[in-house]
Amino acid sequence: MGWVVAEASPGGLVRVSLVDGPGAAPGSEEPAAAAAHLVRLQEEFEAYFRGDRREFTVPLDASGTSFQREVWAALQAVPYGEVVTYGALAAALERPSSVRAVASAIGRNPLLVVVPCHRVVGADGRLTGYAAGVGRKRTLIDLERAGATAPRLMPDAEGAGLLTLSPAEAQGVIAALVQGGVPFEEVGPEAAGCAGPEVCVLRFAPGQAPGPIGLALHAARGVTP
């Protein structure tokens, strides 16, 4: 995904970009309030990319016209893990004949990821028009779809989480978990209350976030959930 470059004012985030390199650092004389917004953004971004966060709570202070702000607010209403077309977004704004204007406002979104313009796709489902590149747009969409379908783990008596898999998918999921650095152990089917050996049961430590497990399932299946 490259680097995240962010700027903030005392009122909130002003700009968030995804770039190939760090570039020039913003000025170091930010007021304490502005610096606090950046620290909070870093924490929330780390959780988002782990699959543990779906919404951002950092205050926003981006400049834009009233129409642009209306469009950006509509973007924030698109649910995590879902996509919407430009036409559908224009219709939701009660401006069905203003698709081009809505698309232009989306293209001027200064707060990438935080204001999720990556969730907007073409009428035929194609990924188009993303300031940080279509490759990053695909990564963000895949990340969110995997996170949105992360499995509910069955708790055991010690507070750990159990995931039951069919033998057909177990090998691929285990390989993806290992590659992703997600710790787990294989346990017997009886741990999940299964009478026969026809399932594979994985045990995750208490507190393990489901997001990385969802990403592993997504990678193993090789399809968009």
Would you name the residues annotated as active-site residues?
117
First to last CA, the chain: 21
User: For helices 167-180 and 210-221, what crossing angle results, to 10°?
Assistant: 120
Residues counted in the chain: 225
Tokens of 80: 């995590």
HSE-CB of 134 using CA atoms within 13 angstroms: 7
> Token match 């194609």: residue?
126
DSSP string covering 127-168, please?
Answer: ----TT-HHHHHHHHHHHHHHHTPPPPEE-TTS-EEEEE-HH
